[in-house]
Amino acid sequence: MIKSSCQFLKVRCWHKLMGITLILLTAWLVLGLISTDMIMAQDHRTGSTLETVVISATRTEEAVRDLPISPVIIDEETLRAHPDKDLGQLLEDAGVTVDRQFGDGGMPVIRGMTGAIIGTDTNSDVLMLFNGHRFGSANMLRYPSKNIERIEVIRGPAALQYGSSALGGVINIITKKGSGEFSSIIRAGIGSYGRTDAGFQISGEYGKVDYSFGYYNMEQSDPFEIGGGDIYPHTYIGLKAEGSFNVGYNINEHHRLGLIYSYNEIQDYGFPGTLTSARRPVAPNKMFGHTYFLDFNYSGETENKLWRWSAKYFFGHDKTIMAQSPYSNDIKGAQAQVTADISQINTTLTLGFDWTNYEFLSYLAATTNKDYEYTEMGGYLIGNVKFFDDRLIFSGGVRLNYYENSASERGGFRFSDNVITPSVGVSFQAVDWLKLRANYGRGYRAPAATEMFGEGNAMVGRYSIMGRPPATGVWQVPNLDLKPQEVNSYEIGFDVERDGFFGSLTAFYADYENKIEREETQPPVWRGPGNTQWIGRKVYFPNPLQPTTPYVSSAQNINTGSAKIAGLEWNISYDLGFLFDWDFVLKPYSRGTWLFVNEYVGGDFDGRQISKTPNLYMSYGILWDSIKYGLMIDANFMTKSNQRTSQLTSMSTAPEWQHGWTTANLNVRKVLWDINDKNKISLMAQLTNVADVYYEYTPGYPLPGRAFYLGLSYTFN
């Protein structure tokens, strides 16, 4: 009774919080609209967000003003202001939910769709790209976060451009391209739990050659503390390093040959499992691995720029060694496209083709299938047409995609299918400071080879017997009848930008079919310590490799039926310094997602909230930035509502719900020395989880408590 009352109160509190948030957002938008009549000048201090050029939305350079969507852009200035943050933390700050199981990395969550923590990106419902093509890994630890020019986030299905896995959205990490005179950044820092890091970046142009090089490494010698001061054993980092370069040869001003290389290495990375399992007197689980990628590219255009084209070939390798799920993945692919600007009818058309091949090898001994292959190829036609002095823009296109799964250990079994994905949108620049937009898209995710054929020992993770996980583990059962997961997504919204105010509000609805989830059987439960009698039914599943040692539980990927998600996304900021003509920026901001529909429909899970999907996530705070004093202070808060835990079935010792939380962070940057804006030495300081809150995304996997970071950087321009 008491427990039910507490849960009821928590639900009411979250509903009140959501209501208050919407009221504040509405007031903020109204205030911004009213203020546009007060001051007629443009905000030259921050530039125009609507004029920002993005690539990921259409695979060609397009201004945000011309798109039927509102992308999230993490620019180079933001990356420089937070040099100690990994990719997951940068996305969190930008209002993207990141399901982090440990201190670093994690899985992005966009519009209720999640990534995958281990394996290839074919297992993910959010597609992560590197310079516009697939990277191969689903682990965010593998993706570069340094020597980066910007990160673009496209929410909603982008399968039209990129094919499978782009249901919730696309995250594109773009390597810095050198330009202008030589510039460099050198930085080093120390932090909590014995953390040390260092890195450098140089870029520029020399004759016809442009270049950008970067290297970064980080070590953490001690395990971190969780909120409240308790130690999380074995959560150290022996080495986390990455390096990259982007070199181009400009044949002339219209043709460029390029080469991009990226390398990532992890050594002795603590991956201990739950807090309870990490305390056991056994050898800790460690992660080792490396990733490299090589990208050969060419881009060109005619002198009048009416025709543009590009082509690339890439290949890479991702290998992870850890006790629970060691694997390696070789990936290769090619892309080519041509864009025509047909000025006579004010139309732009892009015709393209891409091909990607994965060869996935599992090193886990307890498996009958070790060698999988996934191939995907597709052609697409994307275009837009503009009317009324480019104020009304219709855009859309269609993609025909082919994919194939195969497993050599199953007698060369193959499964293939063709998928057509259309998209259509419209944007209308009603006045100079207001854009209205609407968009529809269809996306899909092909079942990954490991989901269809993945026989083997699966990670246990969420339950225990007599305080220990069962030695026999969980047997992963194949499902050769697994269907592709599909979605129809609709959205409407508007963007406002004027006089220091920027507001973007999007209402969206997504209808998912054949949603793929992992289902586990309920494990048997011991009556008590020292008692071998079972409560409930004891079920054994055969172990083909060791018939005398059966598994006590099984897991299988299934199509759960339908799911529906509807909600609001927002990105709002207001430079009060511009409004009151101050010589500094004072900018409150808020970014996030609120879901008011989030449930399975039909089948055994009808009415249940989708797992690992919080109804509310937002990043908000206030930024103070003064060029005069060379000082920037960013006070940031992050709030996440409660959510269902990761599995569809509630295990014997795992809670069905994960509690929500709010954390506070403080970031400071101070220029200590500046000579003619050419040479700068800056101090960087960050305090995370200021209130030392105990918080976690997954039961038993708490994230770090209060921690600090201090660093110095030298910049030469």
The answer to whether residue 685 scores a pLDDT higher than 60 is: yes
The answer to whether residue 649 scores a pLDDT higher than 60 is: no
Residue 672, pLDDT score: 93
Residue 467, pLDDT score: 39
Q: Which residues contact 84 (CB under 8 A, 6 or more apart)?
A: 189, 191, 197, 684, 686, 709, 711
Give residue 478's pLDDT band: very low, low, confident or very high (50, 70, 90): confident
Which amino acid is present at 479? N
The rounded mean pLDDT for the chain is: 81
Alpha carbon distance 700, 694 (integer Å): 11
To the nearest 10°, the Cα dihedral for 311, 312, 313, 319?
-150
Average pLDDT over residues 619-644: 93
CATH of the domain at 265: 2.40.170.20
pLDDT, one tens digit per residue, over 399-458 is 999 999 887 766 667 788 899 999 999 999 999 899 999 999 999 999 887 788 766 555
Average pLDDT over residues 367-378: 79
Which amino acid is present at 651? M
Give residue 329's pLDDT band: very low, low, confident or very high (50, 70, 90): confident
Which amino acid is present at 296? F
Q: In what order do the strands lie in the sheet with 148-155?
A: 72-74, 148-155, 169-175, 126-130, 133-134
* Pair 591, 620: CB distance under 8 Å: yes
Highest mean pLDDT, choosing among 89-93, 97-101, 352-356: 352-356
Q: Which of 191-200, 440-449, 549-558, 671-680 has the lowest mean pLDDT?
A: 549-558
Q: Which residues contact 482 (CB under 8 A, 6 or more apart)?
A: 447, 451, 452, 516, 557, 558, 559
pLDDT, one tens digit per residue, over 51-62 is 788 887 778 888
Higher pLDDT, 463 or 518: 518
* Long-range contact set of residues 415-422: C-beta below 8 Å, sequence gap at least 24: 415/452, 415/480, 417/446, 417/484, 419/164, 419/444, 419/446, 419/484, 421/157, 421/159, 421/160, 422/160, 422/396, 422/397, 422/398
Alpha carbon distance 716, 203 (integer Å): 11
The answer to whether residue 551 scores a pLDDT higher than 70 is: no
Q: Which residues contact 7 (CB under 8 A, 6 or more apart)?
A: 657
Percent over 90 (pLDDT), the chain:
43
Alpha carbon distance 166, 570 (integer Å): 21
DSSP 647: S
Residue 536, pLDDT score: 35
Q: Which residues contact 376 (CB under 8 A, 6 or more apart)?
A: 163, 164, 355, 356, 357, 401, 402, 403, 404, 446
Give residue 487's pLDDT band: very low, low, confident or very high (50, 70, 90): very high
Higher pLDDT, 603 or 426: 426
Residue 281, pLDDT score: 61
Q: How many helices (H) and strands (E) does the chain have?
A: 7, 40
* Pair 612, 646: CB distance under 8 Å: yes
Q: Which of 396-405, 537-546, 707-716 has the lowest mean pLDDT?
A: 537-546
Higher pLDDT, 540 or 479: 479
Tokens of 161: 């451009």
Q: What's the pTM value of the predicted model, to 2 decimals?
A: 0.87
Tokens of 621: 């705070």
The answer to whether residue 641 scores a pLDDT higher than 60 is: yes
* Pair 138, 121: CB distance under 8 Å: yes
Residue 456, pLDDT score: 57
* Pair 597, 611: CB distance under 8 Å: no
* Boundaries of domain holding 66: 2-716
Average pLDDT over residues 364-373: 65
Q: How many domains does the chain have?
A: 1
Residue 58, pLDDT score: 78
pLDDT, one tens digit per residue, over 261-288 is 999 998 888 777 777 777 766 556 778 8
Give residue 28's pLDDT band: very low, low, confident or very high (50, 70, 90): very low
The answer to whether residue 709 scores a pLDDT higher than 60 is: yes
pLDDT, one tens digit per residue, over 104-114 is 677 888 888 88
First and final C-alpha spacing in the chain: 65
The answer to whether residue 29 scores a pLDDT higher than 70 is: no
* Pair 652, 611: CB distance under 8 Å: no
* Pair 179, 203: CB distance under 8 Å: yes
DSSP characters for 372-387? EEEEEEEEEEEEEEEE
pLDDT, one tens digit per residue, over 132-157 is 888 887 778 888 888 899 999 999 88
Q: Which residues contact 305 (CB under 8 A, 6 or more apart)?
A: 341
